Amino acid sequence: MDLLYTSTRNSQGGVTASQAILTGLAPDGGLYVPERIPKLTIPEKALMNMTYQETAYEVMKLFFTDFTEGELKNCIQKAYDSKFDTEEIVPVKKTNDAYYLELFHGPTIAFKDMALSILPHLMICSAKKNQADKEIVILTATSGDTGKAALSGFAGVAGTRIIVFYPKDGVSPIQKQQMVTQEGANTLVVGIEGNFDQAQTGVKQMFSDQALAQELAAKGFQFSSANSINIGRLIPQVVYYVYAYARMMAQGELSEKEAFHVVVPTGNFGNILAAKYAKEMGIPIGKLICASNENKVLYDFFRTGNYDKNREFILTSSPSMDILVSSNLERLIFEMTGRDDSRDRKLMETLSSQGSYQITPEMKERISDFYGNYASEEETASTIKELYRREGYVLDPHTAVAACVYEKYKNESQDGTKAVIASTASPYKFTRSVMTAIDSSYDCKTDFELVDELEKLSGVEVPQGIEEIRRAEVRHKTTCQVEEMPEVVKGFLGI
């Protein structure tokens, strides 16, 4: 039976998976959610012997039911191939007190590759299935990692163009260099004078601008999204939590049905929501530990039930988490209301007009499996230094936030359950923050000198994605004010 998708703001009538992927955002401004979360149908013992690609098929076939077996396997094989630097795709590395799920072995050395390697293939297949006759314009806001991963996935893909907006002064130097050196005539990278939330709001406004949509349609274009609001990005993320469970069983670290916690450094909420979906599919995940940096809007939400973006926006060493409006949280809110689209819509309207909303005690009870905490900048740096000193293992700042929060959870709960920490980026993407955390004397070196120092210190070879940008030409120099974003889009499309 086909699994359909409904909007969080209008659950009447559903669309197919391919229609949801192609559209990105629902016409009413809501996010597409599956009508139900399917249960895994593969026995756990069989799961233990599967490759990442085979696991991906077993998960995705249950969500993307209007894709044929051949179509879906083709998308998977094109996505998870030699562009990853390990056949495992996502290794699980054990330390003394945790298991790190390394999600950064793709071409842009961040976890966004896990979904954005497959999204272009899903989208082109979706366009063919729905007889789409317009060129797809991918419109994306990034806090650092989505941008490059999306650019890498869509560059040169026929029938698509991609426009990425990023906060000009809110990403790491290497993140910026990765984006502005991107090749491909169908790509545009734009730095905005503002923060990620402003870029994300600007993109959402363009999606809901019906006059702009008609103007684009008249010229043969249609918008879609590569942000985690697109269900075609969220579902592939479910796969690696299923795979982590299978790998740990295969390695003898977990027995069948043994519970384990998942710790996720969280900004836009998509990555931890994927873990929640994996849990609902039948994976024995216990606590979903939501780790925030000093922009701790989610920590406050899980503690108080009040979501309040009315606060100072702080630039931190973990920029991909510098977010005050966590878009994917709406999908969880929808479930917390009992899938009541009118209540969800009212809460989102209150957030838009007042900058905050309060959930009921009943709703809060429905998320009792979540735990939230945060790490300060000092705690993040200390975690990087201490783990390197103790075990020689180097974390990026985002993963360090998660590791720090996990320690806080253990100290609070005295819970000895094993935990998987989502390691979301390579330390090579944040060399200055990482190296100066280990030893402040490194601060006098350039970012690329620090790349070489990190290789010596860690014993991990410099990733190809970093080598490629050392001397690459800067191709994208466009900047704009937030209110100028629509005009920049139209200029790139020749409208």
Residues labelled as active-site residues: 112
Q: How far apart are the C-alpha atoms of 93 and 178, rounded to whole Å? A: 26
- Residue keyed to tokens 């429905």: 366
Query: CB within 8 A of 398, min separation 6: which ones?
Result: 265, 318, 320, 321, 424, 425
Q: E-assigned strands of 70-220?
A: 92-94, 99-102, 135-141, 160-167, 187-192
Q: What does the longest C-alpha to C-alpha distance in the chain come to?
A: 61
- CB contact at 8 A, 320 and 425: yes
- CB contact at 8 A, 199 and 166: yes
Query: CB within 8 A of 278, min separation 6: which ones?
Result: 238, 241, 242, 245, 285
Q: How far apart are the C-alpha atoms of 425 and 398, rounded to whole Å? A: 7
Q: How far apart are the C-alpha atoms of 431 and 474, rounded to whole Å? A: 20
Residue 40 is given by DSSP the state P
Residue 314: phi, psi to the nearest 5? -110, 130
In DSSP notation, 438-484 reads H-GGGGGS-HHHHHHHHHHHH-PPPPHHHHTTSSPPP---EEE-GGG
- CB contact at 8 A, 202 and 482: yes
Q: What are the tokens at 246?
A: 């299978």
Q: How far apart are the C-alpha atoms of 445 and 21, rounded to whole Å? A: 44
Number of Cβ within 10 Å of residue 222's Cβ equals: 17
Q: With 0-12 CB in 10 A as exposed, 13-18 as middle and 19+ as buried, what is 58?
A: middle
- Residue keyed to tokens 């290794």: 91
Q: How far apart are the C-alpha atoms of 7 and 70, rounded to whole Å? A: 28
Query: CB within 8 A of 450, min separation 6: which ones?
Result: 431, 432, 435, 442
Q: How far apart are the C-alpha atoms of 288 and 273, rounded to whole Å? A: 9
Report CA torsion sign: 204, 207, 209, 215: positive
End-to-end CA gap in the chain: 42
Helix, strand, coil distribution of the chain in percent, nearest 5: 45, 15, 35
